[in-house]
Amino acid sequence: MSDELIVFAEEPQRQASSEAKGSLRPWKVLVVDDDRDVHEATKFGLKGLVFMNQPLQLLHAYSADEARALLTQHEDVAVVLLDVVMETETAGLDLVRVIRHDLQMTNCRIILRTGQPGYAPEIEVILKYDINDYKNKADLTRTRLYTSVTAALRSYSEMVTIDTSRRGLEQIVRASSELMSRHGINDLANGIITQLSALLGVPEEGIICCRSKITEQDEHQFIIVAASGKQAIKAQNARPLEDPDIKQMLQRAISEQRSIDDEHACVLYFPSEMRDDILLYLDIQRPLEETEHQILEVFCSNISVCLDNATILDRLHNHAYFDSLLDIPNRISFANHIDKMLLGQSHNLMLSLIDIDHFSGINDTLGAQSGDELLRLVAQRLTEMLPAEVFVSRVSGDTFGLLGPRSLLEPARIKAGFFDPFSLFGDELVISVTQGYYQLNDSNLRGNDAIKRANIALKRAKTIVRGEAIEYTQEIERETHQRMLLLQGLRRAYNDNELFLAYQPQIDLRTGQVTGFEALMRWRTKNGTMIGPQEFIPVAESSGMIIPLGKWVMDTAMADLVRLEQQFGLKLQMGINISSLQFRHPNFLHTIRSRLDRLEVSASQIEFEVTESVAMMDTENVREILATIHEYGAQVAIDDFGTGFSCLSYLETLNFDRLKIDKSFVDKMLDEHTSTHIPEMIISLGKDLNMQVIAEGVETLEQMEHLRQLDCDQAQGFYFARPMEFSQLQKWLQLHLAGD
């Protein structure tokens, strides 16, 4: 809102001396925001502002409660710069109610500010509680902040003046209240003419016109919005203004960017950055008095609030219910539409969420601009390929929501819609989508709950069948809920030290001596229940918690290895499992380097075990990481060898130190219906590549003897020892050495 809403004469420019400034009562502006940076930015933006020769005094509150206390102490606060969302989503709006109702501060001007446009105030709040302005924080440059506060101070100043000395205040308030309740620009415009005529005591002879800024070069293009009295006979709404005398006055107001008057008429000028300029011509047949100038300033401030509120409400509606990038309904609108449809027949409706596969990779590779363009193209294709009865929305990121008859949203049909490539800035790009869908069969369900169910199915599909579709079932939700509870329990177990390491010895098959151990993570709850790693490790990996857990495993295993060497004087090896998520983490090398650097034994005694899936990642990147690990002095083994990819070429290009034969091959090794070919081939392969070979899961003497005959280097398994806690391992190792 412009500061100069209405100025009938140039104001003299007076500079107050520093002595005078110190004696003047300052304008009190209360800044309410939970972000300290916003307070500092506001201080900078309003620094040095002097209005009507009075300086500003900024008061600061960081919560609604602090603001209420300050407002109780300072009843003369002129302007409140209020954050919409603070300690709660409604804290700002609740404070508005306190200001207007509890504290009865009707003159104080309120400017709402928000950094989250989605949390828009309700329409009733803006209309009912006399909110002066509503701005996005990102849009508040210093100039706009300066302008908004100055306009608010002018409004406050005039309201206070009229509240104490002008007889027309009650009529202004009644008129403003009447205008606030009107809806639609025509109804509002007619109400303005009526109220202004009553305020000045003149007949309703007026015209309201708008002049769009895009037609600024055409000096005579004014479109009639409303007209009354004799003027209504001459003019028709939505038609260009023809009267040359009125056009001349309107053009003068536009040129001078202010309201003007003469002996027979006045033109009120309402500029705005949010809408077209509005001008009101009133045929008063007499000059305005000075007191009427002042009254009109206040009245015009309120009219500007009404006019800007109409624009604000439109924009708030778009921010709240439409996606700003794609100009299609957003998640809130989607949920509301589901609620509406559930009130009718829902047995044949299906809700589908579709997610663009590998969108983040496209975004990273081609850039954010290409990513945004792809999203627009996908929204366009969905809208064009689906009938009008299908509701299309953007739920989040690269996920779109569809609602319509099941026959129109069959997964195969949606999938086929993406077979054709997209033309992305001249290049053709083929994508696939993953779908999660839910058949709406519960009329008591809310829209957000239905979206949640479809999202559960979508997450399951993204985990196990990328590019396909999965339908929501209660079993999937139960499993999801159990995984969530397991994750919560795992976080609690990590913080409460319920996790521990068990160590399984590794034996040299030629000498029978202990060569090292494998560190295995275990979880024992406080009530003594053991939760198997096959249950919690996948949850840790999918949630990303494997990263801190992996660091803890390294620290604990390396510390225990040092203690064993100090106690027994043996140079033993410690195997530490590394997940693919850890291996891909950008800080992985730094993590192991920092620990190896402070290790009190040789780094060669540490062996990091990775799976074949890690080896089959970006070969060049894996080669560089393995080379760096070897530079640090540590060893690397391939765990569960033979159970993953069949391509073995990576063994020739990547520098591994040891192969581990998976237990499944050892179990079948002596079966009369199978053969020893796989273990024998792995052992032979290891020898050819100058790699050590160790067999896992050895449980019988026969298995051990057979592996020794095949010239396998080492083995581990229940035949030798079960995984043990550290104290048990110490005792076992002592007995084992005594037996030797």
Give the model confidence (pLDDT) of 199-226 as tens digits: 777 888 888 888 755 444 545 578 888 7
392 vs 131, which has greater pLDDT? Answer: 392
Lowest-confidence segment of 24-28, 327-331, 347-351, 538-542 by average pLDDT: 24-28
Sheet of 277-283: strand order equals 223-228, 206-211, 277-283, 265-270, 260-261
Residue 235: predicted pLDDT:
62
Query: What is the C-alpha to C-alpha distance for residues 252 and 592, in angstroms, rounded to an integer?
Result: 75
- Quote the pLDDT of residue 123: 61
- Burial 473-498, CB ≥16 within 10 A → b, else e: eeebeeebeebeebbebbeebbeeeb
| Residue 628, number of CB atoms within 10 A of its CB | 14
Q: What is the DSSP letter of 657?
A: S
Question: Is there a contact between 19 and 68 (Cβ–Cβ < 8 Å)?
Answer: no
Helices (H) and strands (E) in the chain, counts: 28, 27
What class has domain 168-321?
alpha beta
Q: What per-residue confidence (pLDDT) applies to 674? A: 60
Strands in 525-594 per DSSP E: 530-531, 573-577
Average pLDDT over every residue of 99-106: 88
pLDDT confidence bin for 553, thresholds 50/70/90: very high
> Which token pair is 15?
């500079």
Q: Please work out, in degrees rounded to the nearest 5, the angle formed at the alpha carbon of residue 713 by the alpha carbons of 708 and 717.
A: 75
Residue 390 has pLDDT above 60, yes or no: yes
Using a 10 angstrom Cβ sphere, with 0-12 exposed, 13-18 middle and 19 or more buried, the burial of residue 514 is: buried
Phi/psi region, residue 386 (left: phi>0; alpha: psi -120 to 50; beta: rest), is beta
Buried b (16+ CB within 10 A) or exposed e, 423-449: ebeeeeeebebbbbbbbbeeeebebee
pLDDT for 305 equals 67
> Helix, strand or coil for residue 279?
strand
Q: Position of tokens 């869908």?
A: 437
Query: What backbone phi and psi angles, to 5 degrees, belong to 80?
Result: -115, 120
**What are the backbone dihedrals phi and psi of residue 533, each rounded to the nearest 5 degrees, phi first?**
-65, -25
- 1-165 has which CATH code? 3.40.50.2300
> Bigger pLDDT: 233 or 356?
356
- Element (DSSP H or E) covering residue 123: helix 123-128
Q: What is the pTM of this model?
A: 0.50
Average pLDDT, the chain: 83
**pLDDT bucket at 346, cuts 50 / 70 / 90:** low
> What's the CA gap between 701 and 720, in Å, rounded?
9
Which of 650, 706, 719, 718 lies closest to 678 in space, CA to CA?
Answer: 706
d(CA 155, CA 229): 30
Architecture of domain 331-472 in this structure = 2-Layer Sandwich (3.30)
Helix (H, G, I), strand (E, B), or coil: what is residue 216? coil
pLDDT of res. 521: 96
Q: According to the model, what pLDDT value does residue 291 have?
A: 62
Quick one: DSSP state of residue 286?
A: S
pLDDT confidence bin for 321, thresholds 50/70/90: confident
Ranking 112-116, 421-425, 628-632 by mean pLDDT, the lowest is: 112-116
Q: What is the pLDDT at residue 317?
A: 62
Give the other-Cβ count within 10 Å of 589's Cβ: 16
In the predicted model, what is the mean pLDDT of residues 551-576? Answer: 95
pLDDT average, residue stretch 562-583: 93
**What DSSP assignment string belongs to 29-72?**
EEEE-S-HHHHHHHHHHHTT-EETTEEEEEEEESSHHHHHHHHH
Closest CA to 99 of 82, 86, 114: 82
pLDDT classification of 147: cutoffs 50, 70, 90: confident
Residue 433 confidence class, pLDDT cut points 50, 70, 90: very high
d(CA 449, CA 455): 10
Question: Residue 168: is its pLDDT beyond 60?
Answer: no
pLDDT at 686 over 80: yes
Cα(578)–Cα(587) distance, integer angstroms: 13
Question: Is the pLDDT score of 450 beyond 80?
Answer: yes
Start and end residues for every CATH 3.30.70.270 domain found in the chain: 331-472
Q: Give the 3-state secondary structure of residue 578.
A: coil
**What whole-number distance in Å separates Cα of residue 553 and Cα of residue 558?**
8
Range ranked top by mean pLDDT from 232-246, 447-461, 472-486, 660-674: 447-461
Burial class (CB in 10 A: 0-12, 13-18, 19+), 165: exposed
CATH (residue range 485-735): 3.20.20.450
Distances (CA, A) of 296 to 261, 291, 718: 12, 9, 94
> Pairing relation of β-strands 427-429 and 422-424?
antiparallel
pLDDT at residue 622, rounded to an integer: 87
Burial class (CB in 10 A: 0-12, 13-18, 19+), 679: buried
Where along the chain do the CATH 3.40.50.2300 domains lie?
Answer: 1-165
pLDDT at 670: 80
Give φ, ψ of 118 to 5 degrees.
-65, -25
Question: Whose structure tokens read 């909110």?
Answer: 131
Tokens 């100009």 sit on residue: 327
Q: Please report, rounded to a whole number, the percentage of residues in the chain having pLDDT higher than 90.
A: 39
Cα 737 vs. chain centroid, distance in angstroms? 59
Phi, psi of 630 (to 5 degrees): -65, -35
Every domain range in the chain assigned CATH 3.30.450.40: 168-321
CA distance 300 to 288: 15
703 vs 695: CA distance, rounded Å? 10
**Least confident segment among 275-289, 317-331, 405-419, 502-516:** 275-289
**Widest pairwise Cα distance in the chain:** 120
Q: Above 80 in pLDDT, residue 724?
A: yes
Amino acid present at 124:
E
Per-residue model confidence as pLDDT tens digits over 179-198: 555 554 556 667 777 777 77
How many other C-beta atoms can be found within 10 angstroms of the C-beta atom of residue 17? 9
Q: Which long-range contacts (CB under 8 A, 24 or more apart) does 484-488 make?
A: 486/531, 486/535, 486/536, 486/539, 487/539, 487/540, 487/543, 487/545
Count Cα atoms within 13 angstroms, Cβ side, for 261. Answer: 21
* Amino acid in position 627: A
DSSP state of 137: G
Q: Could you give the C-alpha distances from 206 to 70, 235, 268, 337, 503, in angstroms and in order?
A: 45, 10, 11, 43, 92
Pair type for strands 714-715 and 692-695: parallel
Residue 552 confidence (pLDDT) above 50 = yes
Note the pLDDT of residue 198: 76
One-letter identity of residue 238:
A
pLDDT in tens, 79-101: 999 988 888 877 888 898 889 88
In angstroms, the CA 505 to CA 572 distance is: 10
Comparing 427 with 603, which gets the higher pLDDT?
603
- Contact 84/312 with Cβ under 8 angstroms? no
Contact 342, 443 (CB under 8 A): yes
Could you give the CA distance from residue 516 to residue 721 in angstroms, rounded to a whole number? 12
pLDDT band at 21 (very low <50, low <70, confident <90, very high): very low
Between CA 321 and CA 331 the distance in angstroms is 8
Domain ranges in the chain with CATH number 3.20.20.450: 485-735
Whether the Cβ atoms of residue 172 and residue 298 lie closer than 8 Å to each other: yes
Structure tokens belonging to residue 329: 């309904």
Write the CB contacts of 485 (distance below 8 Å, at least 6 apart in sequence).
Answer: none
Compute the half-sphere exposure of residue 503: CA atoms within 13 Å on the CB side of its CA.
29
CA distance 721 to 27: 81
DSSP secondary structure, 308-354, as one string: HHHHHHHHHHHHHHB-TTT-SB-HHHHHHHHHHHHTS--TTEEEEEE
Is residue 12 very low, low, confident or very high in pLDDT (cuts 50, 70, 90)? very low
Output the six-digit token pair for 282: 């009133």
Q: Mean per-residue pLDDT for 691-709?
A: 94
